[in-house]
Copies of this chain bind each other. A is one copy, B any other.
Amino acid sequence: MTTEIDTTGAEQCPAQGLLKTLSGKWKPEIFRLATEGPLRFNALLRQLPGSSRQSLAVALREMEESGLLTKTLVQQKPLHIEYALSARGASLVAVFRTLENLL
């Protein structure tokens, strides 16, 4: 591994970045499910047959890092974590609705 500097990230337009944050086998579906309500890890794993813990963990982490989802520890009965759409994520929903009208 030759510590090289990555010059490939010379983004030409902001939309490129967004496409990356929604690229991958499960992210689009995770995003859509998030529009319907908060998500929990194990439930998501069951809702997405064929997926794996690993890829969901990575996808959720990256979507949180990119500001699409928020991760919250819910101080309730079985003490769990909730992934929910952030404000930024919610604003994307509106854009996607526009998209659907266009085709």
Interface string of A31-63 (1 = CB under 8 A from B): 010000000000000000010000000000000
Asked whether any CB of chain B lies closer than 8 Å to the CB of A98, the reply is yes
Inside 8 A of A102's CB, which chain B residues have their CB? 88, 91-92, 95
Contact with B along A16-37 (1 / 0, CB 8 A): 1011101100001100100000
Q: Are B22 and A19 in contact (CB under 8 A)?
A: yes
What range describes how many residues of A lie at the interface?
20 to 34
Q: Which residues of B contact A95 (CB under 8 A)?
A: 95, 98-99, 102
Identify which of B8, B12, B14, B100 contacts A15 (C-beta below 8 A): B100
Q: How many Å lie between the Cα of A97 and that of B22 in the bound state?
A: 17
Distance from A25 Cβ to chain B, minimum over Cβ atoms (Å) = 10
Q: Which of B13, B23, B91, B99 contacts A32 (CB 8 A)?
A: B13
What 5 pairs between A and B have smallest CB-CB spacing? A15-B96, A14-B100, A19-B28, A91-B102, A23-B23
